[in-house]
Amino acid sequence: MADTRFRYPIWVRGDLDGFFGLMVDNLVQVLTIILLCMTVCGLPPELIFTRMLPGVAISLLIGNLFYGIQAHYIARRDRRPDTTALPYGINTPSVFAFALFVMGPVYRIHEPTQGAEAAADLAWKAGMLACMVSGAIEFLGAFFAEKLRKVTPRAALLGVLAGVGIALIASDFAFRIYTKPMIGLLPLAILLLAYFGRFRFPFGLPGGLLVVLVGTILAWSMSALGIEWFGGTDMSAERLRASVDQVRWILPVFCGNELLSVLSNPDVLIPFLTVSIPMGLLNVLGSLQNIESAEAAGDKYATAPSLAVNGLGTIAAGLFGSCFPTTIYIGHPAWKSMGAKAGYSILNGLFFTLLFLFGCGMFLKELIPIEAGAAIVFYIGIIITAQAFQATPREHAPAVSIAIFPALAALLALKFQALMNDAGATITIAELVGNPSPAAQIPEFPGLLALFGANAGWMVSALILTAMAVAFIEKRYKTAAIWCGVATVLTVIGLLHSYQIEGNVIREFFIWQSAPAAAVDAAPTATAPIEATASAPAGPPTFAYRAYPLAVAYALATVVFALAATSVKRKTGKGVTPATKSTLPPPKPTPTPADPPSLPVDDEPPVPPEPGEQSPKEWT
């Protein structure tokens, strides 16, 4: 009788390659989290390493263990020994969105009145709350993801991510690389050789791991030799030894009381729904596409439990101190081509759990400079942007491009705030915008701030504008009118384009909020049709802008689009004429970059794809 027993191995050689790729990716995300939390959000190291990183470990452990065990189940069910677990880790776009548009603003708003320590604590709690909202959406997405995907154009969803990728991820780390080129440029060259050129390095060294090693060696060598020109870095053996002394067992702490303390605070919850809700929705749809990518590669995973655990991992992150969502990563076919199975996923979860529960976060910070991993984050941003164009119909490319402009406004607004603070300017942004000079060199600065909005309202603006553009390309005028009507309502409420400035701090300005107490409304002028405010001597200069002119413009555009749709319907008796009906092919089941593209470690040429399918390494 034939042996009918089926064996699925716990560990294979390909799992080692897969582990290094996933580990390096998540390691760079952690270094980025530490950097942003300390420099942008004002969080003290003790809070980051004893409360936040253990929460990160819990979230990574839950997801990686589940997807590893799930791979064992699927392999036995389908009797497929080549089954590969879904890759899982920290969501890169959410890291930047939450740090820059939730935690950072909370810290800047409350630091002048409550002090740095209290403001940092509130920023951390606001981040956890935003993470919980995103996780709840991800969990519920297991039940409504398909309906959401049908009503929202793929170009609109990916366009927002393209803006985040190019303006907030790739640009920022490109600036870092060229600020310290002696540390950053050589790793970038190695990365491009590995991932663009698909070069195989001696001894089979993974490209991502080699990038971090070379960058770290360069940083320590330059520091030891005292080389400071061309952007040296200050690596300290004393600080490294001190960080070793801090290695100790740290148990995760349940943060339910901290969350309850801010849950009823509308100033911490409502203004930042424009960040947490869009990022949660993007995470849901991106993960759904990545599950479809795995199915195209031969591994059929149930959608509902896969998405539900993805959301539970993010919820667990928020409950135990982390502020950053997790997600199913893009690139499952690449791990499959390496020969990885379930072991790489389980080992990744165990590795980071032990790393952070033993308090090794400070050691990592002192050992590996962020410049060593800057090339990897830069590459992730580039790939997110590139796939926004590659994974949508070619006809929709102009629509995707529109989403870049609000992101550029966000980049300029954030950098300008930081520059004004660093330079100790005698004039604030509020004064600069509220009292424009007739000879101003940047007369469009108020428009830049309106496009940026407050609290990442630009993300929603980018999504709506891109969706409208897709509707026009497909000659669906009624749909465009609906999207424009939504923009009208959101603008009136103040979720889009409205803002108020206190000194150099840009914050929300909803319809139910009154102008700052020190402000006096001024009549609009030809050069500044805005609700300008004059400051009182006791407080910082203030300025407020309700975007009613934009709301009126959106409303008029809605009428025009509705009339266009009615005109077409009268002529044909349908919503569109047969000649203008969209002939675009249905979307292919290719993955989207709603999550950080995990890094390949096997540099051999990819397996040739089937006709019409995505190459296993096309995402690199």
Q: What is the pLDDT of residues 343-387, one digit of tens each?
A: 999 999 999 999 999 989 999 989 998 888 888 888 888 888 887
Cα angle 592-594-596, degrees, rounded to a multiple of 5: 105
The answer to whether residues 52 and 60 touch, using CB atoms and an 8 Å cutoff, is no
Q: Is the domain of 266 the same as that of 413? A: no
Classify residue 8: in a domain, yes or no: no
Residue 317's domain comprises: 13-392
Q: Is the domain of 354 the same as that of 423? A: no
Q: Is the domain of 371 the same as that of 424? A: no
Q: Is the domain of 298 the same as that of 406? A: no
Q: Residue 324's closest CA among 25, 58, 600? A: 58
Q: Is the dihedral of CA 517, 518, 520, 525 positive or negative?
A: negative
The pLDDT value given to residue 584: 45
Q: Is the domain of 377 the same as that of 419? A: no
Residue type at 265? Answer: N
Q: Is the domain of 375 the same as that of 424? A: no
Q: Is the domain of 189 the same as that of 330? A: yes
Domain boundary among 344, 370, 392: 392
The pLDDT value given to residue 184: 87
Tally of domains within the chain: 2
Classify residue 589: in a domain, yes or no: no
The answer to whether residues 11 and 73 touch, using CB atoms and an 8 Å cutoff, is no
The pLDDT value given to residue 605: 35
Classify residue 503: in a domain, yes or no: yes
Sheet of 499-502, strand order: 505-507, 499-502, 542-545
Which residues of the chain, if any, have pLDDT below 50? 1-3, 519-537, 576-620
Q: Is the domain of 199 the same as that of 87? A: yes
- Which pTM was predicted? 0.78
Q: Is the domain of 223 the same as that of 270? A: yes
The answer to whether residues 36 and 222 touch, using CB atoms and an 8 Å cutoff, is no
Q: Is the domain of 323 the same as that of 455? A: no
What does the alpha-carbon distance between residue 423 and residue 421 come to, in Å, rounded to a whole number? Answer: 6
